[in-house]
Structure 1
Amino acid sequence: MFEFNSRHTRFPRGFGLPGRTWKAGLPLIIKDLHDAKSFLRWEDAAKVGINLGVGVPYRTGTDQTWVLTFLSAQATPIARRFEIWVPNEDRSALVFRAGDCSAQTDLAARYAAQSIARGEGSIGGAWAAGMPALNDDLTSDGSIAGSEACAAGLSRMVALPVIGNGRLDAVLAWYL
């Protein structure tokens, strides 16, 4: 039923995970979907155990925006941690914007006053290359994100750059 409803639901700008991601123009994480009334299909999600959603905007050259959504269930998570990093005001480094960790780690406190330089680790590498980065050995990452992930027992990650108007808007990282 959840799949059927998902295929036949339209999301206006600003509503539901896709619409909120579209409006924000940045990756978005919604935790506890079963309690999030802003998630339009929350009742169906609760029935099948989906508890977390991640939205990623993709803008085309024709001023259209597509949104890729990942829905994760507590019993079968697609990742153990998600992080969103964005350029700071002068675009000299990436700073932590939001995240979620299955170990209930306070990521905002861990990354307060921390940054990632262009080319540093997998996340900074995704920024520099403008291409996704895969890392199956975070012990060699070299960034604060890699160090924190290793300390939490995570060993692999994907870093996905989100680019709009020819420049980086954010990097979404997820860890296993």
Structure 2
Amino acid sequence: MDDSTFHRAKAAAASGLTAAVAIPVFAEDVLLAILVVLFADAEHVGAIEVWEDSANSLVLSDGYYGTAEEFERVSKATTFGHGQGLPGGVWASETPILMRDLGASYGFLRAESAGKAGLKTGLGLPIPTPGDKTYVLTLLSAPGTPIAHRFEIWDARAERVGPEKKALRIDGLCEREGFLAPKENPPLDALSVTAWQGPIGRVLGSGLPHVQVGGAGLPAGYTQMVALPIHHENGLAYVVAWYL
């Protein structure tokens, strides 16, 4: 990070921070918040990618790859069609997608280079903005330098949960507990929360991102969390949370 793009560059450098991504939260045309996520460790193995649509495909707009230089080279030369790979899948479904074991996944088009880089987990997020432009944010994590130790995706769409302001946990991955996705199909056993119930419920109630350090409501063994709301035309659609 330098002074031309990040006004707090000197303070960031003194704190060991090496990269940042700013995530806008829009409800239709209204900007509700901007969540800024900062990353440390120059020896980090992982990636933060911003993909945007261009000529009916997604191209890399920007990215940070730490020491994964070969994966960065491959990514800069890769484009995704509608429904292809993790970014294309998010684009087609307009939903967050959590992908496991990237190096062995047929759904991850850069699997070979991801495996060589040690990347294991991928989280793809649709980033709605005003206008016709499509943006997808991907966070790719390695076990040795994880972006987070626990990921959760909550579905808050009215067509899924009904008129009540609530959300169902539809997917997740935890280093301690393993898969957090419902075991039944349809997911009758999905964990649910209502507005203002715990940290996820706070996002449901406010429609805004939530950052928590300590306090009640966090899963056992975790002390920090970030929860990001994703709005569609009809209101809050998803909440994505990650924990440290």
Partner of 1:53: 122
Relative distance call for 1:16 and 1:173 in structure 2 (3 A) is: same
Partner of 1:131: 208
| TM superposition shift of 1:122 | 1.5
Separation in structure 2 between the aligned mates of residue 21 and residue 66 of structure 1, nearest angstrom: 10
Deviating above 4 A after TM superposition, structure 1's stretches of 4 or more consecutive aligned residues are none
Contact 2:171-2:182 at 8 Å conserved across structures: no
Q: 2:225 aligns with which of 135, 154, 157?
A: 157
Higher-Rg structure is 2
Kindly report which structure 2 residues correspond to 1:94-113, keeping only aligned pairs within 5 A, or say none: 94-108=167-181, 112-113=189-190
Residue 38 in structure 1 maps to residue 115 in structure 2: no
Partner of 2:241: 173
Separation in structure 2 between the aligned mates of residue 51 and residue 113 of structure 1, nearest angstrom: 25
Bigger shift: residues 121-130 or 9-18: 121-130
TM-score by length of 1: 0.87
Aligned CA RMSD, in angstroms, stands at 1.8
Partner of 1:117: 194
Separation in structure 1 between the aligned mates of residue 190 and residue 94 of structure 2, nearest angstrom: 24
Bigger shift: residues 88-97 or 64-73: 88-97
Relative distance call for 1:76 and 1:98 in structure 2 (3 A) is: same
Amino acid at match of 2:155: V
Separation in structure 1 between the aligned mates of residue 119 and residue 194 of structure 2, nearest angstrom: 34
| TM superposition shift of 1:118 | 1.2
Amino acid at match of 1:99: G
- The Cα offsets for residues 115-145 of structure 1, whole Å up to 9 and x where unpaired, read as 11112222111222222100111x423xxxx
Name whichever structure is richer in strand by fraction: 2
Q: State, as a whole percentage, how many aligned pairs show the same letter.
A: 39
Partner of 1:89: 161
| Secondary structure, counterpart of 1:64 in structure 2 | coil
Name whichever structure is richer in helix by fraction: 1
Relative distance call for 1:128 and 1:36 in structure 2 (3 A) is: same
Question: 5+ residue gaps in structure 1?
Answer: none
| TM superposition shift of 1:8 | 2.5
TM-score by length of 2: 0.64
| TM superposition shift of 1:154 | 1.2
| TM superposition shift of 1:164 | 1.4
Question: 5+ residue gaps in structure 2?
Answer: 1-69
Partner of 1:3: 72
Relative distance call for 1:104 and 1:122 in structure 2 (3 A) is: closer
Kindly report which structure 2 residues correspond to 1:4-19, keeping only aligned pairs within 5 A, or say none: 4-19=73-88
| TM superposition shift of 1:113 | 4.8
Partner of 2:92: 23
